[in-house]
Structure 1
Amino acid sequence: MSGPALFVRYAFAPNRLGYCGPADAGSLLEYGALGRSGKGFRKLAKQFEGAWPQLSVIAAATGTADPLDQEVVEAYWVGNRLLDRAANDQGGLPHHSFQVFCLYPWANLLLDERRTEHALQVLDQCRIRWGRVIADTTDHVVVESRPLVWDGGELSLGLPCQETAIRGFDGVNLIERLNPGEWVSLHWGWVCDRLTPDQLVALRHYSAYHLGLVNQRLRGRAGISGPRIQ
């Protein structure tokens, strides 16, 4: 799969909802469906103000000419070996989970009881999650995944539960039919891609790493010293 096609699989869901990227989500989906790239696609990708700078950081740190190189795109959304060469001065890595947990404001809003529920929902849907397929009904997929939970001082993963995610939009499916037991990545209620065993390990690893960073910060703001005892 090309880097642009992979980018669309992960970026389309928040773009369709109007959270980031260009106004014309249909054009983005068309690029993904046709596997097209070029200057037109690059112009669309640069409008993702969160993702594009991080892709550029990964490319620069690893000597990769194109921020839309497939391995660079995979590094940002899922995680791979390139990330370990691109650490920042905050101790984070240019992975989407760093963007969600450490750069966006939602984690800080957990400490405001009036906004906790909404902030937790946004954090859970915005991060790239992983889920095990239970059933594929063509347009939707039933998956089992672990949601984020908040205990008043720390974020963690809760018990597995079932949810239904979108597999296609306007008759376009970017991913072939899924089989029960397969692992997939999820973003804003959308099935992004199948995950290989190595990709699943990487996504869990880099997500846990940045969850640890944000929990350290949240404990300090909540006046809690040291790890919480469960």
Structure 2
Amino acid sequence: MITTHEVSGPQLFARYAYPPNALGYCGPTDHLALFEYGSAGVTDAGLVDLAKGFHGAWPYLELIARGTGIRDPLDRRVVEAYWIGSPLLDRISTTDIGNSMEDRFRSRTGHDFSHLAEGVVAGGVPHHSFHVFEVYPWVGLLRDDRKAPTAVTVLDRCRIRWGTVQTVLGDRAVVRSRPIVWDGRVLSLAEPVDETAECARAGTGFVGELVPGDVVSLHWHWVCDRLTPAELRQLQRYTARHLAIANTGVEHRGTALAIG
């Protein structure tokens, strides 16, 4: 079994980027290649090129690397900071984050850019949950009663979430996790419920053999990795931070239509 700390940065990227890529939401069209790289544990120039094709995630990796003095955007420390969370994120200056957001999203958002800038000033950092709650348009749709159920589902599936394996059924695992809910005023984490997620395909996946009690990360419909206690704390920390920022202005947050 290969743990998070043993895989390379490109491999870790493949584990988390594959689920939305398989659904056609972001990245290059050849999602099977990404899965094969991740499940085989092979890293070469082809995998690096695939990672660069994620026009939503790649600039964040560049920002983290540049802001922390790490040369390679696919260094494992950088990739882990973006998807899971790390103290590295708090070493990046607010100015650098704000400038990156302006370069990427000012032209797309016009006057609404001020709301994205407020999220940065409030403590937003280049973690995937920042992109989900502050950049994507879904939080801004919560005030529309017709669109709110879909928005909540997408927010919950798109963020990196955590849970505990209850049982394994072939290529799927039943995982107990806390979904996001919307009460008409704020987003919050509900009490744990069981969900079924893919963990392998024809016996091949990213995490090896799961057993009940494993704490795992999930993205969309897929189990991405096992989490150490420290990783779990980081993921919870940055998720809570960006949920809180989003809740300070639900009617304005999530106004930038971004590529995932």
Q: Same fold (TM over 0.5)?
A: yes
Residue of structure 2 in register with 1:169 after alignment = 201
Preserved CA contact (<8 Å) 1:132 1:145: yes
Residue of structure 2 in register with 1:4 after alignment = 10
Shift of 1:35: 2.2
Residue of structure 1 in register with 2:132 after alignment = 100
Residue of structure 1 in register with 2:187 after alignment = 155
1:131 counterpart letter in structure 2: G
Q: Percent identity?
A: 54
Residue of structure 2 in register with 1:126 after alignment = 158
Structure 1, 83-92 or 111-120: larger mean CA deviation: 83-92
1:156 counterpart letter in structure 2: S
Residue of structure 1 in register with 2:59 after alignment = 53
Shift of 1:49: 1.5
Structure 1, 117-126 or 85-94: larger mean CA deviation: 85-94
Query: 1:113 is matched with which residue: 115, 121, 145?
Result: 145
Root-mean-square deviation (CA, aligned residues, Å) is 1.4
Preserved CA contact (<8 Å) 1:120 1:148: yes
1:151-173 residue CA offsets vs partner (Å, 9 max, x unmatched): 11110001111111100125421
Residue of structure 2 in register with 1:225 after alignment = none
Preserved CA contact (<8 Å) 1:4 1:35: no
1:182 counterpart letter in structure 2: D
CA distance in 2, matches of 1:114, 1:162: 26
Query: 1:29 is matched with which residue: 27, 31, 35?
Result: 35
2:243 counterpart letter in structure 1: L
Query: 2:233 is matched with which residue: 194, 201, 212?
Result: 201
CA distance in 1, matches of 2:129, 2:82: 9
1:181-218 residue CA offsets vs partner (Å, 9 max, x unmatched): 12100000100000000000000000000001100021
Preserved CA contact (<8 Å) 2:143 2:251: no
What is the number of residues matched between the two proteins? 221
